[in-house]
Structure 1
Amino acid sequence: MYIAQIQFKYMKSGILLLVMLLVGLGTYAQIEIPRTTNTGGLLKAEPDSKSGFPLLKVEEPEESKYLKNDDPKKIDFRKTNDELITAGDVVEKKWKKDRDIKNSYKEDQYLGDFTTGGKFVELYARDHEYVDGDKVRIIVNGVEIQSITLGGGYHPILVKLESGFNNIEFEALNQGTSGPNTAELKVLDEDGKLVTTKVWNLLTGAKASLIVVKK
């Protein structure tokens, strides 16, 4: 009996020691390990004092040796020679130059006549040389029907025909910036068939006339 009491006493002491040991381990496990937010150095761009945005350094590309020109040619736009004249300028200069005035340009020109059974004819006129503002007045049987400025494209003119002779006249109102007054004329019948193509060269006041006979 006495021995049993001694054994129980030692067993109780061992249990108490084990409990204290376990409590000590739990307390140590709960101690928070120090942490740090410093994960390394950060590169920060310096803000611009004016805009507040970061300043980024842009490296200039290396100059290409093919684009480099140590001695560029200087152009003097005050020169009056032909150094700066292009091929288009040459053509324009050619057309702007006045033609030699011929006596025929001062006289009225007859463009011919033809017969049709239609009620009208379509006329298409354009400046076939340098477009320089040539103007003409269209007169049918003594009555002006319209005035036009000739351009590079064909201008349509509808002429209603009377029975018998119809005299169609084109009077040059000017010679544009380069004389004479020049034009190409195409005439189509009521069916759209091309009847004739004519050209004229007129000085101011001269006329080109065409007669259409309606059957």
Structure 2
Amino acid sequence: MYLIRLKNRNPFLLLIFILCISMQGYAQKELENKFKPIPSKTPKTKEVIPPTEEAPKVNPPAPVEKPDPSKIDPNELFKNTNLYKQEANVPGIFYRQNQFLGSFKTSTFTSTIRYRDAAFVDGDKIKVYLNDKVIEPEVSMKGEYQGFKITLVPGINKIDFEALNEGSASPNTAEFQVYDDKGAVIESSQWNVGTGYKATIVLYKE
């Protein structure tokens, strides 16, 4: 209604009025774009999330290793006073004790044992046992190899060579060889023991 009156009275005033209204709207829009709210000085409290509890790590028990039945401890073996003469603590004399010649695994059915005097023939004599049973009650050692064949049982086959004397030159000495049923050497060595002591080798048949 007011605009109609202005139009009727003076068109120029109407134009000025419309320009003023447009500029006012534009100014308000500019102020809205430039206005930025002032952040609060009091910071917002962050929500604290409690840490999650982890179950303690439980290490699995270490696997229990089964003892190897082929491994023979000579110290335990020679403790048996019913089978083995005990070591004589004589300074400087190394052969007043039993001698362990080793433990060996094999799949052979039979084994051949050979032996001879290690140095010169001086009258050395031995007795041979297989699993604590006498198989050769008295053998005089010679310069050439002699021996016997045994049938192996599953598990431990223990062979003892007992010195019956020391001949004319101490100790009782011998070279020995152990073969499988195909002629392959399982062990080759020598023993040096005093009278009454034993040299022992173990064949473990798998």
**Coarse TM-score class (shorter-chain normalised):** 0.5 to 0.7
Cα distance change, pair 153–119 in 1 and its aligned pair in 2 (3 A): same
Other-structure match for 2:162? 171
Distance 2:148 2:93 in 1: 29
One-letter code aligned to 2:197: A
Q: Are 1:155 and 2:146 an aligned pair?
A: yes
Distance 2:92 2:124 in 1: 18
Distance 2:103 2:182 in 1: 18
One-letter code aligned to 1:192: G
How many matched pairs? 115
Deviations along 1:110-167, whole A, 9 cap, x unmatched? 0001111121110110002010110011101010001311100001221221110111
Other-structure match for 2:181? 190
Q: Which runs of 5+ in 1 are unaligned?
A: 1-100
Question: How high is the TM-score relative to the length of structure 1?
Answer: 0.52
Which secondary structure state, in structure 1, belongs to the residue aligned with residue 95 of structure 2? helix
Matching of residues 34-183 of structure 1 within 5 Å: 102-146=92-136, 147-183=138-174
Alpha-carbon RMSD across the aligned residues, in angstroms, is 1.3
One-letter code aligned to 2:97: E
Segments of 4+ in structure 1 off by > 4 A?
Answer: none
Q: How high is the sequence identity, in percent, across the aligned residues?
A: 37
Deviations along 1:45-93, whole A, 9 cap, x unmatched? xxxxxxxxxxxxxxxxxxxxxxxxxxxxxxxxxxxxxxxxxxxxxxxxx
CA offset at residue 104 of structure 1? 2.6
Q: Which runs of 5+ in 2 are unaligned?
A: 1-90
Distance 1:149 1:137 in 2: 9
CA offset at residue 102 of structure 1? 4.3
Question: How high is the TM-score relative to the length of structure 2?
Answer: 0.54
